[in-house]
């Protein structure tokens, strides 16, 4: 990406922030750098941070980055000075990390592991406050092994991510299936399941399901005073669990495409930013978004999980075509199974209810 595109984007946003057209609850903006590998374009990152620091606006900015840590030793002093929050990709021990290879095909583990330890030894306070980990689950590691490794080596809790199963090319499906591992199955098969589940807490899939179930279907959770008075059965809800465009974030690709987030296909671009400026057509964005929702409306109306849907429509195969089918659809029988699954998890872990209500919902 050219810096002029970054500048045009920031100028566009700054004009909105200065106007009366924003209703942000908190005057805070997070600017995150993604790749590929963002540290390969450190010049652009430095230019961006410098420009943001010069913007004359009453708003707090924080910077973050997802990195493979291969170049961490070259730039850690700058990252520490600017207090950039780092999310480091580390898939566990040497075998667990073996899908991440260097240019010559060799495992990058030793290089990455050395860089992370160097950062911790030189800047322990920064490491404690600003460094976190993400681990991708596959057929060469496990939730328990990865979690324990990072906890033992760095006294940190990693986030476990499954491989994205959307948009796999037909000729790669078998290879994907051989590589893919389900997080719940991995946790359930661990030798110390109960202890691991307790330590993972909300990142443990069963507990995450339970939290969503209690929040959406128990009738005992109220976001604010008004929600005590409103009859929820007559309130219209937006179908699916998809974020409304620009509600939470915006993502700009290296080619200048503007997307809702970094996790969806580039074919769903909302607009673009060039050296001339930002090009967004609000009417077209609304029309396209509503068009996708209209295709799913009949399924959503019949779905028994529609009030707590977590399905992003941009992960639904053939959403741009005719008659797309939502993978998250639940008929009455499937919803009963889902309810039973959540309540059985609560029955087996009765202390979870108080913990979820006090530590998660209230906070």
Strand, helix or coil for residue 49: helix
pLDDT at 109 over 80: yes
Q: Cis peptide before 183, with omega less than 30 degrees from 0?
A: no
pLDDT tens for 60-80 read 999 999 999 999 999 999 999
pLDDT at 23 over 80: no
pLDDT tens for 148-199 read 999 999 999 999 999 987 778 899 999 999 999 999 899 989 888 888 888 8
Q: For 159, phi and psi rounded to 5 degrees?
A: -90, 130
pLDDT at 25 over 70: no
Residue 84 makes CB contacts below 8 A (sequence gap 6+) with 63, 64, 65, 130
C-alpha neighbours within 13 Å on the C-beta side of residue 277: 7
- Greater confidence (109 vs 318) lies with 109
Specify the pLDDT at position 131.
98
By C-alpha distance, which of 326, 336, 320, 317 is closest to 298? 326
- Could you tell me the CA-to-CA distances from 270 to 16, 279, 286 in Å, in that order? 18, 9, 10
pLDDT tens for 231-255 read 777 777 778 889 999 988 999 999 9
pLDDT at 362 over 80: no
Which of 106-120, 127-141, 346-360 is predicted least confidently?
A: 346-360
**Mean pLDDT of the region 133-137:** 97
By C-alpha distance, which of 354, 298, 351, 288 is closest to 323? 298
46: confidence class by pLDDT, cuts 50, 70, 90: very high
Retrieve residue 284's tokens.
């077209």
Specify the pLDDT at position 193.
83
Specify the pLDDT at position 113.
98
215: confidence class by pLDDT, cuts 50, 70, 90: confident
Specify the pLDDT at position 115.
98
Retrieve residue 174's tokens.
């078998």
**Mean pLDDT of the region 302-322:** 90
Do residues 159 and 106 touch, judged by C-beta distance below 8 A? no
26: confidence class by pLDDT, cuts 50, 70, 90: low
Specify the pLDDT at position 295.
93
By C-alpha distance, which of 219, 218, 214, 213 is closest to 231? 219
Retrieve residue 251's tokens.
């993502």
The angle that helices 72-81 and 109-122 make with each other, rounded to 10 degrees, is: 30
pLDDT at 363 over 60: no
Specify the pLDDT at position 361.
67
User: Can you tell me the distance from the alpha carbon of 41 to that of 71, in angstroms, rounded to the nearest whole number?
Assistant: 11
- Whole-structure pTM value: 0.88
223: confidence class by pLDDT, cuts 50, 70, 90: confident
Retrieve residue 215's tokens.
């929040």
**Mean pLDDT of the region 22-27:** 67
Q: Give burial (CB, 10 Å; 0-12/13-18/19+) of 257.
A: middle
Specify the pLDDT at position 51.
97
pLDDT at 24 over 70: no
User: Can you tell me the distance from the alpha carbon of 82 to that of 64, in angstroms, rounded to the nearest whole number?
Assistant: 10
Tell me the pLDDT of the chain averaged across its residues: 92
């Amino acid at each position: 990406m050219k810096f002029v595109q970054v500048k045009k984007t920031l100028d566009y946003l700054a004009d909105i922030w200065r106007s009366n057209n924003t209703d942000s609850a908190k005057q805070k903006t997070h600017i995150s750098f993604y790749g590929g590998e963002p540290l390969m374009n450190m010049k652009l990152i430095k230019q961006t941070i410098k420009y943001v620091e010069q913007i004359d606006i009453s708003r707090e900015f924080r910077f973050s980055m997802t990195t493979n840590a291969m170049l961490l030793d070259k730039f850690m002093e700058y990252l520490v000075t600017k207090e950039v929050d780092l999310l480091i990709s580390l898939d566990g021990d040497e075998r667990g990390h073996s899908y991440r290879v260097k240019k010559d095909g060799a495992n990058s583990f030793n290089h990455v592991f050395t860089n992370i330890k160097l950062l911790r030894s030189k800047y322990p306070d920064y490491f404690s406050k600003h460094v976190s980990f993400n681990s991708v689950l596959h057929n060469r590691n496990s939730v328990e092994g990865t979690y324990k490794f990072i906890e033992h080596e760095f006294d940190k809790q990693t986030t476990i991510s499954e491989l994205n199963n959307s948009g796999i090319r037909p000729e790669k499906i078998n290879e994907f299936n051989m590589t893919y591992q389900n997080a719940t199955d991995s946790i359930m098969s661990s030798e110390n399941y109960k202890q691991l589940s307790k330590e993972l807490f909300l990142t443990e899939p069963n507990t995450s399901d339970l939290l969503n179930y209690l929040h959406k279907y128990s009738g005992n959770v109220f976001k604010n005073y008004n929600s005590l008075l409103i009859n929820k059965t007559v309130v219209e809800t937006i179908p699916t669990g998809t974020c409304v465009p620009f509600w939470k974030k915006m993502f700009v690709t290296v080619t200048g495409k503007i997307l809702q987030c970094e996790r969806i296909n580039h074919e769903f671009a909302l607009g673009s930013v060039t050296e001339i400026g930002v090009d967004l057509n609000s009417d077209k964005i609304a029309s396209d978004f509503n068009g996708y929702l209209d295709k799913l409306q009949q399924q959503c109306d019949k779905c028994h999980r529609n009030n707590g849907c977590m399905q992003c429509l941009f992960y639904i195969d053939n959403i741009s075509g005719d008659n797309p089918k939502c993978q998250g659809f639940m008929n009455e029988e499937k919803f009963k199974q889902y309810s039973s699954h959540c309540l059985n998890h609560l029955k087996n872990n009765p202390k979870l209810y108080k913990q979820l209500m006090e530590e998660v919902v209230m906070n």
